[in-house]
Structure 1
Amino acid sequence: MSENSTVEKTIRVLEQSKSPAAQAVLMHALTVNDPQIRDMAARALVRSGSALGKTEVIRHIDVLSPDVVEELSEDEKAMSFPLRQCMEHGDHESSRKALETIESAHLYGEIPFLVKLIATASGERADQCEQVLLALIDKLYEQRSKQKASEPTSINQHCEELLQLFGLELSQFEKLKRPRALIESVLILSDPEDGVARQLIRESSTDCQGMVWDILLESRHDGVLMFLIKSLNIKYVHPRILEIVARRRDIEFQLALVRSIPERLSVNQERNFCQLQGLPWLFPGERLWQSIPDQWQGRVIRLVDALAFRHDQRVGFYESALEHAGVHGKVAAAQHRTMIRPQLFEQFVLEALESEDPAIEGWAVSELRNTELPDKYRFLVNRLDSGCPEVQRQAREALGRFDVPTAILFCETARPSVGPKLAELLLKINPDASQDLARELANPVRTRRLRAAKAAAFMGMEGNVTEALLEMLFDSDSIVRRAVAEILGSVPTPAVVGALETLLEDSSPRVREAAEASLQQILATDEGQAASEAAKAQAKLEMANQPEGDLL
């Protein structure tokens, strides 16, 4: 049999014994150096039902494991009597250990007794009781925050019962020695529309209300901060609440407020926020964006939109975000790009393109399409080779819409020098762009055929779609034939020379003029001379190969 098994068996025997000596041995076991023996002895003493034994467990609470301390809450009623005896009749050390036990084991059932002690005690003893009360309230708040308020759990039940208790105590505010802890507990555990909270804010005495306002202004407990922020979501908010929101400038309140801003504000929130001309900590600048985590910066922009800022003030925030914020702030601010000078917006985008943060660079890539930067497509193409997958994705997404129709539209407004770069870009994004352009040249709508032909010339892609252009020389519309004849002057091939020579007999004088001018342009180059000779040789060959009947 192992040593531990022997000890466990011994402790079980001592637990079942009614002998005072057995109890004394178990109580002594609480002082040994072995933590396992101490824990087993403590569990045995609690199960034994002995008030004296439980008192000893309380006196040695600081040497027991967290697991044993937590188990005390499972037998809270059995621990209540020895705890109260220690606090009411024990010495200073026993009282202190009892308070430590209540706090460590989260014995919420002892809160009413703590409230009673706070009302009668004074000095250090009252301070200790108050500290334990607030520690328990803090733990309750933490546990309740993980649950839905509507769920019928023991935690929610504790909270409801305590709120009623605190409300009853505070109804005699003038008689209380230390009401502040009770008021703060109400604000931590309740919502603005709870009955006890409404009574404190709307119906309590002037002195009581004054303490409520002080706590809402000064406390940095998350529960109090959330009470203040949730008050902005009720229809008829107390004017002092708005005043306090407009005065607080601590970072805890700033982060709590920003964190709570939803994607879409409620009607009540919109009504209440628009009564605020601003907040004392909310100013555009690099410092603001450094103080707010990146994932919440978009909520700052939504907060700015909700407050009663002037137009120029809002623009200042948007510009500040585009310059200094992280990607979430920039995304939110960019939704207001129409309020920002285009040149300034383009400057912010160019600066972000050089960012070492891939997320910010990716944002800049996604915004290039919303600018008039002459080299925006060049920037996008360069990002296709980025080492960052997010930047590549944004570039592909932006360029995915750059097809032949888009290129044709862009050619009509771009500078002539952009043409060859545009062709390079188009072919890199879409290797089948030449075929797509050829199909557009055969479009049944004359206007679209002409626009496609001019775009091909603008981009220097005549050589890529020569066959389609030659087909257009036989178009029934003389305007189309003339335009294509002019374009083909830069394509010195035998087929083009032969086709232009055919047009010298076209029925339209202007087509004949265009054909002659293009032929002269071609023949002015050595390449063109060679193409002309090749065209003549091809014509003679075709004549020689014709049957004699055809010649007649």
Structure 2
Amino acid sequence: MLPLQRTIDALAKSHNEAATPTLIAALKTDSVEVFDGVVRALCARRSKMGHLAVLRYWDVLTPSQKLIVEKGRCRMGVALREALLDGDDRLFAAAYEFVEASGDYDLTPTLVMVAERSCGERADAAVALTLNLVEQLCRWLAADREPVLGRDPETIRYCVLESLERSVERYRQHRRAELLEAFVVLAGPDSKTLRNILESPYHPCHQSIVQSLTVSVSPNVLGLLTTLFAYRDAPQAVRNVVGKRTDQPFLDALLATPLDSKNVAFMKNLARTKSLACCEANPALLAQLTDQQQAAAMRLLAASGASDDRKLSLADLLIKHGPVEARVAACEALRPIAGQRGNQLVLQALDDAAGEVQAAAVRQLRERRIPGAMNKLLELVESPNEAVSAAARDALWEFRFDNYAARFDLLDDDARRSMGARVALVDRSTLARLRAELSNPARRLRLRAIEMVAAMKLLPQMADALIERLQDEDHVVRVAAADALQHCTADDVRNALLAAIDDRSVAVQTAARNSLRALDGETQLGDATALVEEAAP
């Protein structure tokens, strides 16, 4: 084989035109080694005739031999174009398989031309291959990696898109809707050409592109449609398509799109969409959706420009039969919708078994001005479900310790007691805040803190802090603390009051005796005094 291989190599490099016919004749050899060498030599030469001869053997080549041919594809463009445009069936099939296997995007304009100028199996095959190449290119672009051709994917996209745009201009002649779909997919949401077509109802391609957006289940088309609707200022045609589609692939794509109030484009497009068929109160349609998708459908409809009746119908259906996540979304969707029907649904949600749903309803009770809302919220503050309790506390925002402290001096005694009781119930930080106030450097604030403890009926809970005030530097504070302790019955309170009888201030002594008298009665006070006298030196 060595001398023969040298001959084949010499013919491959020869500038003599006779070398090509010689190599073509050698393709008839029975030797696999010679055949491989001849194929390699013909692919290495820039000869259309030689390349066409190799293509005629394509259907009998082994995978390794096809790989040899693919390595020479950079020199085979002319032969491949001729095979696709004017070759016989065998050459066309070989060129088709070669392009499909190698992913040669340079032949996209040729495939478009075949699809446009003919009809039948060849045109259909050219269309299918064009769509396949575009889909591969989209995957490469999405993966952000270099394709096997070793060229920049964006450069390839630009070249392919240019040929498809020219095909769009010739649409009146060829009427190939599939080529329009290839253009739509590759053009992307930022294409000015695509936007002009979508915004021009009388454009020759308008109806076909809208039809493609309406029926296509291609992931690329669905991705384009949802991107136009969720992240761009969508044309009316796109909003109409989104409003009508109910097929499962589209639902999966749309309902997976996050609804963010900061996404101005999405919120604007939704507000201008008066109907969303995929989010209607349709039990059969909802049955196809997952729990998360049902909740997403409710949120989308709530943000849309659909009528309140449609929103209420879906909310009603979900509150009665939906999963927990969807019931929460339905309850939240009721918030901006006033009226009796909305109030009834909120009250229905208030009896839901799930705490999350109850909490969503609780947050709306006051703003809806439902009769008895205040008493109900005060009752729910003590709910064993933390979500419900927290929601009730949030709704009773005015019953916060800061608000109570700021208004305390302006309230009469009845108002102090009434509001104080509610603050003690609602604000969990009340005890800690009172302790902090009792230690305030300002005497006035310490005295006011003791008054607040009494008004809020928290004396037993604050007994230890009041006992500390019996050692206060200011005798007025000590008097107030001793007086307040008469309502506390713990043993340490009694002992602290007994000790306070020896206070250097007569007023404190008097207050301590009065509190002990209130706690123990006259007799026990006498015994206590005797004990103190015995203990004195």
Residue equivalent to 2:160: 162
User: Which of 150, 173, 176 is the equivalent residue of 1:175?
Assistant: 173
CA contact (8 A) 2:459 2:484 kept: no
- Contact 2:197-2:205 at 8 Å conserved across structures: yes
Q: How does 1:278-427 map onto structure 2 within 5 Å? A: 278-283=275-280, 288=286, 291=289, 294=292, 300=297, 303-311=300-308, 314=311, 320=318, 324=322, 350-352=354-356, 374=380, 379=385, 412-413=420-421
2:93 maps to 1:96: yes
Alpha-carbon distance between aligned partners in 1 of 2:311 and 2:99, rounded to the nearest angstrom: 52
Contact between 1:258 and 1:299, CA under 8 Å: does it hold in 2? yes
Aligned to 2:438: 441
Determine the structure 2 residue equivalent to 1:274: 271
Amino acid at match of 2:212: I
8 Å contact from structure 1 (residues 246, 279) kept in 2: yes
AA matched with 2:100:
E
Q: Report the counterpart of residue 51 of structure 2 in structure 1.
A: 51
Which of 110, 113, 116 does residue 113 from structure 1 map onto?
110
Equivalent residue letter for 2:98: T
Alpha-carbon separation, structure 1, partners of 2:39 and 2:453 = 91
Residue by residue over 1:205-263, the C-alpha shift from the partner in whole angstroms, topping out at 9 and shown as x without a partner, is: 666433223222211223333444455466682x4443322221122223333444563
CA contact (8 A) 1:11 1:44 kept: no
Give secondary structure in 2 for the equivalent of 1:467.
helix
User: Residues 26, 45 of structure 1: CA spacing in aligned structure 2 closer, same or farther, 3 A cutoff?
Assistant: farther
- Cα 1:174–1:481, aligned 2, differ >3 Å: closer, same or farther? closer
**Paired letter, 1:448:** A
Alignment partner for residue 531 of structure 2, among 527, 530, 537? 537
1:487 counterpart = 2:487: yes
- Choose which of 224, 240, 246 in structure 2 pairs with 1:249: 246
Q: Is the 8 A contact 1:200 1:208 kept in 2?
A: yes
Does residue 223 of structure 1 match 2:220? yes
Shift in CA distance, 348/121, structure 1 to aligned 2, threshold 3 Å: same
Helix, strand or coil: the match of 2:279? Answer: coil
| 1:178-221 deviation per Cα after TM superposition (whole angstroms, max 9, x unaligned) | 52122112211124663432454456866643322322221122
Please list, as runs of the form range in 1=range in 2, the aligned pairs for 1:115-134 lying within 5 A after superposition: 115-134=112-131
Which letter maps to 1:181?
A: E
Distance of aligned partners of 1:207 and 1:376 in 2 relative to their CA distance in 1, 3 Å threshold: same
C-alpha distance in structure 2 between counterparts of 1:277 and 1:230, whole Å: 19
Q: Aligned-pair distance for 1:506? A: 5.0
2:468 maps to 468
Return 498-507 or 166-175, whichever deviates more.
498-507
SS, match of residue 249 in structure 1: coil
Kindly provide the CA deviation profile for residues 239-289 of structure 1, in whole angstroms up to 9, marking residues without a partner as x: 444332222112222333344456346655544432322201113688649
Task: Write out aligned runs for 1:26-45 (5 A).
Answer: 28=32
Distance (Å, rounded) in 2 between the aligned partners of 1:79 and 1:167: 26
Match of 1:16 among 9, 17, 21: 9
Q: 2:32 corresponds to which letter in structure 1?
A: H
Q: Deviations over 1:34-64 (max 9, x none)?
A: xxxx9x9987774466526742674357835
**SS of 1:281 mapped into structure 2:** helix
User: How far is 1:459 from its partner?
Assistant: 7.9
Q: How much has 1:136 moved relative to structure 2?
A: 1.1
Q: What is the alpha-carbon distance in structure 2 between the residues aligned to residue 379 and residue 185 of structure 1?
A: 55
The correspondence of residues 200-219 of structure 1 with structure 2, limited to 5 A, is 200-201=197-198, 208-219=205-216
Letter in 1 for 2:211: D
CA contact (8 A) 2:187 2:194 kept: yes
Cα deviation, 1:336-371, whole Å, max 9, x if unaligned, reads 8687867666655844599xxxxxxxxxxxxxxxx8
CA contact (8 A) 2:80 2:95 kept: yes
Task: Return the letter of the residue paired with 1:115.
Answer: V
CA deviations on 1:368-427 (whole Å, 9 max, x unpaired) are xxx86646686559xxxxxxxxxxxx9xxx9xxxxx969x999944699x89xx9xx999
| Superposition CA RMSD, Å | 5.6
Residues 265, 439 of structure 1: alpha-carbon distance in 2 compared, 3 angstrom cutoff? closer
Q: How does 1:485-524 map to 2 (within 5 A)?
A: 485-491=485-491, 495-496=495-496, 498=498, 515-520=516-521
Question: Residue 343 and residue 473 in structure 1: after superposition, are their counterparts in 2 closer, same or farther (change >3 A)?
Answer: farther
- 1:485 aligned partner, one-letter code: L
Larger mean CA deviation between 308-317 and 137-146 belongs to: 308-317
In 1: Cα distance, 2:257 partner to 2:288 partner: 19
Q: Using the alignment, how far apart are the partners of 1:62 and 1:293 within structure 2?
A: 52
